[in-house]
Structure 1
Amino acid sequence: MSVDSEAVRLRSEADEPGWEVDPDDEWGVAVITTVGRQLKLRREAAGLRAGDFGKAVGYSEDMVYKIEAGKRIPRQEFLTAADEVLGAGGLLAAAWEDVKKVRYPKKVRELAKLEGQAVEIGVYECHTIAGLLQTPDHARAVISAAQPPYSPDDVERMVAARLARQSVFERDPAPALSFVLEEGALRRPIGGTMVWRRQLERLLEVGRLHNVVLQVMPMNCDTHSGLDGRIELLKFADGTAVGRSDGAFNGRPIHEPKHLRILELRYGTIRAQALSPRESLAFIEQLLGET
């Protein structure tokens, strides 16, 4: 094998499948440390040095050490390859079931868990398309625009986490979902024309689902109850609820009935001021036709 092909085969850390472990995520650290220890024990039992093992699975020696030390979260393809090389009989590959539960940041996991349990989800988004509605390319463009910029690896992790939350659309029974988006956000061609078109098409697709109500807040509405920022309301089967608003209660999750009533009032007023669902879909179709 030539030097050039070897360099391609052993990809750089930025390209390799793995994410940094958040040291404040105790559960995540415990899971990844355990998987890394099992990997190291099996590698050593097989008589393989880290460098040789890395070549066998297509990753650098440094990456192998980081995963074994519990400092890097392996992706599924790494564990599958490791299982085959070490003859683990599926045990290392099966570790993915635990790893995938902690592969995203703790805050995102907590939000996804709540969304996965909610029977009603209501979201007003003022500056961007709501994360639950974003296409992969749109999400990537939005996240990549942050300053200071995220590393390419962190961008991909955040995109994957955002898309994983969209499994809420596949739930059975389906939750009731409502979204209100600002016209200005729909008109901004984030990611370029083709990415924008695909995003508008995605909105039309989701907006036609039987359990989804999608509305647009027109720019000719001179003032409305969402000017303070984003609002999200989640309601659960046991009658409890949780809400969050960028412009109220310091953006923290709230559970108190009196505070929830305030957010429900604001969200209800926003929905009343927005275009109807039928008018909203027609408006998005018009935007799509103009691209």
Structure 2
Amino acid sequence: MIMPARRQRPNESPALVAFGRQMRRLREAKDVLQETIANLTKVSPAQVSRIENGKKRATRSFVKAVDDYLDAGGSLLSLWEDLNRDGHPVPIWFDWPQTESDAAALVTWEHTIVPGLLQTPAYARGFLTSDEAVEARMARQSILTREDAPPTVLIALLSEYVLDYLVTSPEVMREQIEHLIALSERPNITIQIVRNNGRPAGTGGAFVVATMEDRSEVAYMETTVRGITTDNPSDLAKLSESLRELRARALPEDMSRDRLKEALEKWT
């Protein structure tokens, strides 16, 4: 029996392409180089190129600076806002992996499972359906250990429930927690355990906030139906408030490491 070919996701977003083309037209009409835009917005020329080619989503602060510099009269910013009425251009999954890779720092909150960037292969297999998916997840983790560029700074806030939630087997949990302990020793990774103290923390769901090189922020939020990528100021303000509460309830790094060791004993 011949299996039907797997449908592939499109490799570009029409919204991103439309925005990038208009930005390029405005820039070239003013005889401005991509390098000039890069210097203006404090991003790399490669990032400017990806935005114009529809491969990367621009932040609002980036668009505002470019619009002003090109004397676009707000037209570029208006287009960006039209394409971002729900906080993101479609498809919503398109640009998060690239955003994650480009980020200078990530802050993540997880209430049930270990974040993907910190998972072992065996733990990841508890949620993914193919070896290819596991390999892709492991490949994403290279941003934390890369040497060709500064490794991404990661702050992971984990509910203590994460340590007690059985994934696959006690052996897998033991390996995963040992991995967390080892990662917590790296200078660019901070793992803090959030106590619940009788009331749930971070009830709005798991999320990640990425801080980019230009200090702008982009967030990825998990929902029941799908993940949402957004840099909407209102969304970011709400997440910032959640982070303040979570950090206030988080154990310091050394105490968090002790809590990880306690969980390790449970699974041994």
Q: TM-score, normalised by structure 1?
A: 0.57
Aligned to 1:209: 186
Larger radius of gyration: 1
Aligned to 2:243: 267
Q: Is the aligned partner of 1:160 residue 2:135?
A: yes
CA displacement, residues 170-215 of structure 1 (integer Å, 9 cap, x when unaligned) = 2331222100111112112312121111100110011111011101
Q: Is the aligned partner of 1:138 residue 2:115?
A: no
Structure 2 distance, partners of 1:280, 1:232, is 20
SS of the residue aligned with 1:113? Answer: helix
Report the alpha carbon displacement of residue 231 of structure 1 after superposing the two structures with TM.
1.5
Unaligned runs of 5+ in 1: 1-11, 15-19, 28-105, 144-153
SS of the residue aligned with 2:158? Answer: strand
Structure 1 distance, partners of 2:102, 2:126, is 29
Aligned to 2:114: 129
Does the 8 A contact of 1:228 with 1:246 survive in 2?
no
For 2:131, give the aligned amino acid: E
Unaligned runs of 5+ in 2: 13-90
For 2:251, give the aligned amino acid: L
Does the 8 A contact of 2:108 with 2:157 survive in 1?
yes
Q: Is the aligned partner of 1:191 residue 2:176?
A: no
Structure 2 distance, partners of 1:109, 1:156, is 22
Aligned length: 186
Cα distance change, pair 157–288 in 1 and its aligned pair in 2 (3 A) = same
Structure 1 distance, partners of 2:2, 2:170, is 32
Report the alpha carbon displacement of residue 111 of structure 1 after superposing the two structures with TM.
2.6
Aligned to 2:217: 241
Cα distance change, pair 235–135 in 1 and its aligned pair in 2 (3 A) = same
CA displacement, residues 111-152 of structure 1 (integer Å, 9 cap, x when unaligned) = 321111000101001121111111000000133xxxxxxxxx
After TM superposition, the structure 1 = structure 2 runs for residues 1-291 of structure 1, keeping only pairs within 5 Å, are 21-26=6-11, 110-143=95-128, 154-171=129-146, 172-224=149-201, 226-246=202-222, 251-290=227-266, 291=268
Does the 8 A contact of 1:123 with 1:179 survive in 2?
yes
Q: Which has the higher helix share?
A: 1
Q: TM-score, normalised by structure 2?
A: 0.62
Report the alpha carbon displacement of residue 217 of structure 1 after superposing the two structures with TM.
1.6
Question: After TM superposition, what 4+ stretches of structure 1 lie above 6 angstroms from structure 2?
Answer: 106-109
Report the alpha carbon displacement of residue 286 of structure 1 after superposing the two structures with TM.
1.5
Q: Root-mean-square deviation (CA), in Å?
A: 2.8
Structure 2 distance, partners of 1:113, 1:212, is 20
For 1:168, give the aligned amino acid: I
Does the 8 A contact of 1:120 with 1:235 survive in 2?
yes
Does the 8 A contact of 1:182 with 1:219 survive in 2?
yes
SS of the residue aligned with 1:112? Answer: helix
For 2:141, give the aligned amino acid: Q
Report the alpha carbon displacement of residue 244 of structure 1 after superposing the two structures with TM.
2.6
For 2:184, give the aligned amino acid: G
Identity fraction in percent:
25
